[in-house]
Chain A
């Protein structure tokens, strides 16, 4: 058995295989649902209804997709340059911490000034957090997968420390939570009475900017070259270490912007459960989007719909909402397999 590159890729294959991948993931989920003693059709219908079935549901899905667009972009940018940033979770919290440190009354500025300042500060926080592992990679040859993963644990403990110490809200009834950000530091709602906020628009803009960097700038070209073959890029005169460092700054900044958006647009303060794994789910989003910046938007909405829908479904159908995590993870695996088969065909001899 061996793999043989396909000489031509028909549109049918390029679209058909990814769809088949989602179908296989759905079948697997259906099997698990049946094990729970529920009817998969009812469950899928409930998931669809809970995520897209009403105006409220759609808004809720888009709200949930917002942080995932940011962390998905962060992963996509890094993975394109083969910088394996698995630390999106820590960078996300870094952005949230910066927002809370500066946004709870320290800077007496009007909203049009304060919001950009907070955004920049948040991005800086996340950028620094990924810059360190990137330096360790280029200087000492330390595998960034392990360091960024370990940083997640370290930074979450730091957040816990801050929330029980300097950032603790004295009025928080003893809960480890920060003070609410001041009104000037809040992103307004997009629609009155619903939770969707301007962070969503910011996320779309971020995707557009990343697309622009990727396609229209020298840096984007260099990032792709490094990702494709770092040694060849080096040989062609591309400063690989510098490109990796810049990729790290952009990727870390994007994930952190997600943390800013979640605090300033939705939650208002920082708690230890601000992110239910947005950093890790961002990796899935990026892979489902085939690392395409604009595809990240669609993938994030899809993943968010699964999560929002499964939450609603589990309340009424009695299937554990962890089914959403299973669906998303199996979709990741079937999708990367499908993409491989659009490029190669299997020969049995």
Chain B
């Protein structure tokens, strides 16, 4: 199989969407935080916690969807911690976020070791199985690529539509955007800036948690150390790439998934001549290039990273 024909295999496109799914959740989550004016660098750790919490729930005998809910709650909990520290208390969002990442991931590892002290190979669970959408999955090409995914992938797409609708069409979405652009004006409109910001960070972090859980409950069937592997940081880059819009962020995540799926196949094809590490670097390099391309004209939410203190100017 050569470099071009790979592009026309359904397996490639199906893999692209699978790889994009956790990024879609995480990118949406980060987008929600940043639209409200809070950068959440706890994302990498929150995804780790989500991956662990979801997995341990299922491992303990509960259902897969219970795992997803627990992952979302665990993510929300660390989101709440981040939000309380940076919104009402106004701490540095960078430092707090890194602190949340370190705390969340080390707690996940601690509890993993506590639950399974002696294991060398991580125990497996029965993950989500692909679910063929009746009718649509019989379509040629598109059916196999798009409509034979696991339920969490469909949920990711639903969440994109939901967040896009929330931001564009609802008063709550307007409030979120307002506190991210001009909190003083929002306050004058009667919006509780602190509450809206905290709410957005908590909800966004819940999405990040589900993104992490996708890895343990859908993509793989066990939890292992460092499994998030920079996906959180890539999502932060994807938010910028997607100009803080859910639709564009989805396109970014899909492009990224496509690229990653493609390099995995190229790796098998050219692996003998080109060191595999170069292929593994590509996603990170691509993220940086994407950032350079869009950053100059990026329209950051104007109050991003600016703490808001009531009554101060």
Contact = CB atoms under 8 A, between A and B. Distances in A.
Interface of A: 1-3, 32, 35-36, 79, 84, 86, 136, 140-143, 145-147, 149-151, 153-154, 157-158, 160-161, 164-165, 280, 283-284, 287, 318, 320, 322-323, 325-326, 328-330, 332-333, 336-337, 340
B281 A325 contact: no
B230 A150 contact: yes
Contacts of A326: 103, 106-107, 110
Contact of B110 (A147, A318, A323): A323
Interface in B63-121: 81, 85, 88-92, 94-96, 98-100, 102-103, 106-107, 109-110, 113-114, 117
Interface of A is mostly: helix
Contact of A337 (B91, B236, B237, B295): B91
Contact of B103 (A147, A323, A333): A333
A336 B98 CA distance: 12
B284 interface: yes
A326 B112 CA distance: 13
A136 to B, nearest CB: 6
Which of B41, B109, B110 has most A Cβ within 10 Å?
B110
Contacts of A140: 292, 295-296
A332 B310 contact: no
B5 interface: no
Contacts of A32: 107, 110
B284 A329 contact: no
A78 B38 CA distance: 22
Contacts of A157: 277-278, 280-281
A330 B311 CA distance: 31
A36 B113 CA distance: 10
Nearest to A332: B99
A149 B233 contact: yes
Interface of B: 41, 81, 85, 88-92, 94-96, 98-100, 102-103, 106-107, 109-110, 113-114, 117, 229-230, 233-234, 236-237, 240, 275, 277-278, 280-281, 284-285, 287-288, 291-292, 295-296, 298, 309-311
A146 B237 contact: yes
A157 B275 CA distance: 10
B110 A322 contact: yes
B94 A145 contact: yes
B233 A146 contact: yes
B109 A35 contact: no
Contact of B310 (A2, A142, A318): A2
Contact of A330 (B103, B234, B236, B277): B103
16 contacts: A136-B288, A141-B295, A142-B288, A143-B291, A157-B277, A157-B280, A157-B281, A318-B117, A320-B114, A322-B109, A329-B102, A329-B106, A336-B85, A336-B92, A337-B89, A337-B91
Given A136-B295, A326-B106, 12 more contacts: A3-B89, A140-B295, A146-B233, A149-B230, A149-B233, A151-B284, A287-B99, A320-B117, A328-B102, A332-B99, A336-B91, A340-B89
A161 B275 contact: yes
A329 B292 contact: no
A268 B70 CA distance: 46
A-B pairs, 7 with minimum CB distance: A325-B106, A320-B113, A329-B102, A329-B103, A161-B277, A322-B110, A157-B277
Nearest to B291: A142
B285 to A, nearest CB: 6
Contacts of B117: 318, 320
B38 to A, nearest CB: 14
Contact of A333 (B99, B114, B236, B278): B99
A20 B92 CA distance: 20
